[in-house]
């Protein structure tokens, strides 16, 4: 609420594993938090426990907007979802 009243906006969440952000970078993100933060632990292979936990970063500032989770700006050519979307796009041509 404080941020909203100050005219600040938030960006979309961006998480390790999205686009070109290697999931192993999860360790760097977790190093910024107290050990066992929110009861979530991280394995040596960057797997979070409990399963289905989500981490990421969110920008806060005056000139931000949320664009939604769209694949058109992602550069990861090996992404499974991106491959499906590109195939559908090619089929429409």
What SS3 string covers 6-26?
A: CCCEECCCECCCCCCCCHHHH
Per-residue pLDDT at 69:
62
Q: Is 88 helix (H, G, I), strand (E, B) or coil?
A: helix
Confirm whether pTM is higher than 0.75. no
Which band of pLDDT confidence, cut at 50, 70 and 90, is reported for residue 45? very high
CB 74 within 8 Å of CB 15:
no
Per-residue pLDDT at 3:
65
CB 92 within 8 Å of CB 39:
no
User: What is the extent of the structural domain holding 77?
Assistant: 2-92
**Longest CA span, the chain:** 51
CA distance 71 to 69: 7
The tally of domains found in the chain comes to: 1
pLDDT digits (tens, 9 = 90+) for 2-28: 666 678 888 888 889 887 889 999 999
């Amino acid at each position: 609420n404080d941020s909203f009243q100050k005219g600040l906006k938030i960006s979309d969440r961006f998480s390790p594993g999205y686009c070109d952000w290697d999931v192993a970078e999860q360790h760097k993100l977790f190093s910024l938090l107290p050990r066992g933060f929110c009861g979530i632990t991280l394995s040596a292979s960057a797997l979070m426990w409990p399963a289905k936990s989500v981490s990421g970063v969110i920008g806060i500032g005056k000139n931000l907007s949320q664009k939604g989770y769209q694949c058109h700006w992602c550069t990861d050519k090996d992404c499974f979802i991106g491959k499906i979307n590109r195939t559908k796009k090619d089929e429409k041509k």
